[in-house]
Chains A and B, each alone.
Chain A
Amino acid sequence: MTAVAAPLTTPRQGRRQGRLRRLFSRSTVNIILVVIGLLWLLPSFGLLVTSFRPAQDFFSAGWWQAIAHPFTLTLDNYRHILQTGGIGDAILTTALITVPATLLVVLIASLAAYGLVFLRWRGRDWVLVLIVALMVVPLQMALIPVASLYRSVGLFNSIPGVVLFHVAFGLPFAIFLMRNFYTGIPKDLLEAARIDGANEWMMFRRIVLPLGKPALASLAIFEFLWVWNDLLVSLVFLSGSSHVPITVAILGQLRQFGSNIDLISTASFVSMIIPLGVFFAFQRYFVRGVLAGAVK
């Protein structure tokens, strides 16, 4: 801590330093951040522009040159995707996996978190420790046994199988998140409700669940993005099905990256629209979820 004694500056030095700092804190930082911001937008923007170009243009010039010639851009790729329907079917499959998985995780996790926070029972603390441990277990640990299990009960290559897998691996984090939120609910409220005559289910339905809405929203968005964006689980449990989610569908096209670029870029962008929409609409809750999951 020797450096603390340093600023014994003459007035003139002080003034110069002040000016320097002002310069640094205003213009320079602004410029740096503008540049970084643009750099961050660039890759996605490149994909967007590419998705509006014919495949042969991809070989002749970069997408940034196409901006200078907007007339070369075309809606054909999107029209094509709509007409052939394969991508539409894949998006639907993704939705059919994502929506039930999200709802189930939210419901089951809120129940379990209630049990962990508001019910007193032996072994409760150990169950919490187990949940925290399960939060980081790689899902690779389960792929092979669950594949065998699914084959024997007929869930392999079925959407419910994928949904259940997502729910199970989403639960540890979800329970943890909800538990953290529930511990912030004053115990007095529950006791008041108990004296008012509510049973556990009523207390869950009428007090804890409504109060937990912000956390539920965060969790739902998290889960939604997580499942929507998944590749691996569907690749393992659903790739033999005639209906595959969008990520698996695009993966099949990647081998001919250049010549299929029109399809790949368009489908990729389509696959991003819904999660991006969710992100922009509920950014506040998403950020809150990130913080609740990370810090604590």
Chain B
Amino acid sequence: MARIEFQHVDKRYSGAEGLAVNDLNLDVKDGEFLVLVGPSGCGKTTALRCLAGLEDISSGDILIGDRVVNDLPPKDRDIAMVFQSYALYPHMSLFENMAFSIRMRKAPKAEVESKVREAAQILGLEKLLDRKPGELSGGQRQRVALGRAIVRDPAAFLMDEPLSNLDAKLRVQTRAEIARLHQRLGTTIVYVTHDQVEAMTMGDRICVMRDGLLQQVGTPQELYEHPVNLFVAGFIGSPAMNFLTGRVAHDGAAAALALDGLQITLSGRAAAAARTCGDGQTLTIGMRPEHLDVATAHTSNAVRVPVLVDVVEFLGNDALLHATVGGTEVVALVPVARGVAVGDRVELAIADDLVHTFDPQTDHTLGNTAAA
């Protein structure tokens, strides 16, 4: 068991222009399940590979436990890794695959046997130990990759998109399996994914990256409720948050957002944020689709947005409305009972304390800065 620290870590690939990882500072607590998430090319996999020792870092320090491991080869870092492709040795049986690492460490035969059996039992692979990887289904291979890591009994598991080669149903199952495994073993896990749903459901904490830069670290709830900038706000949550950008218009105590010839009256938190802006300054408001609903006579303390409905996607209990306000698309998740049809002009409403506000110049969140 160990905590892991990145301290001012830079990684520059030779020949590449920018930094693949730019001044990364990150502290993974002992036993924590930390997810690195971000779009492809954001540096999350590079950070993981630096941690594994598969890449040298350009500057900074990486610590596992209390050791600086910068110059240690992978095998001496006491970590196990699960690869996206699983990287099972195709010419070895499952048993040999799982035994390989401890055999490399010259473990006695009996220990190899018992450790592999134990891992196989945890993952329900006992009956397949004589098979070769080629004879297994995708899900089974995935479990072997996990088993190979378990056998090591390492200080930390590193997982690089381990679910991306599975179909949707299996992915959900395996997600739960890995979570269970984490509870059972209590080992630190650093997990890389581009899928924010995976990140939200699995991580104790999530670290969002973009262009080599860390954007925000926090629990799923913190990220959801208090994104620090436009990028995190748009990346976390599904369907993605709606953004409307307009100019602030002050009218005495009240504030409004002017866009495309219509005025949206702001109230509550949003109005407070607008008040910090000068008259005519631009402001972006963010509204999660699931927080929007069709306005009724009883709606109060809400920001109202008049829209034209383009498409209605039926999801069962709810319907997903694709609508436009001015030239901007707005998505809303509303109960089917609202009975909205294509071509309707409706007024969408959102509780004013759920409205996020951003400065479009800096992309930073205004007013309600997250407390991680």
Report A's interface with B, CB cutoff 8 A. 186, 188-189, 191-199, 202, 206-207, 210-211, 213
Contacts and interface: CB of A to CB of B under 8 A. Distances in A.
A53 B89 CA distance: 56
Contact of B74 (A186, A188, A194, A211): A194
B94 interface: no
Question: Which one of A186, A188, A197 has the highest number of Cβ atoms from chain B below 10 Å of its Cβ?
Answer: A197
A207 B89 contact: yes
A201 to B, nearest CB: 11
A191 B104 CA distance: 14
B52 A195 contact: yes
A186 B86 CA distance: 10
Given A191-B54, A211-B91, A197 B85 contact: no
Contacts of A210: 91
A120 to B, nearest CB: 10
Contacts of A202: 104
Interface string B78-103: 01110111111111000000001100
B83 A188 contact: yes
A206 B105 CA distance: 14
Contacts of A193: 89, 100
B326 interface: no
A196 B87 CA distance: 12
A193 B90 CA distance: 12
For A195, A198, A213, the residue with the greatest tally of chain B CB atoms inside 10 Å of its CB is: A195
B83 A191 contact: yes
Given A202-B104, A210-B91, A211-B90, A195 B85 contact: no
B75 A198 contact: yes
Given A186-B87, A188-B84, A188-B85, A196 B104 contact: yes
A191 B85 CA distance: 12
Q: Is the interface of A mostly helix, strand, loop or mixed?
A: helix
B73 interface: yes
B74 A195 contact: yes
A207 B88 CA distance: 10
A191 B54 CA distance: 7
Contact of B87 (A192, A199, A211): A192
Nearest to B77: A195
B139 to A, nearest CB: 18
Contacts of A189: 87-89
Contacts of B87: 186, 188-189, 191-192
A144 B56 CA distance: 49
Contacts of A195: 52-54, 74-75, 79-81, 101
B75 A194 contact: yes
Contacts of A196: 75, 100-101, 104, 148, 152
Interface in B31-80: 52-54, 73-75, 79-80
Contact of B104 (A186, A188, A197, A211): A197
B52 to A, nearest CB: 6
Nearest to A188: B87
A151 B80 CA distance: 57
A23 B152 CA distance: 67
Contacts of B89: 189, 192-193, 207, 211
Nearest to A213: B91
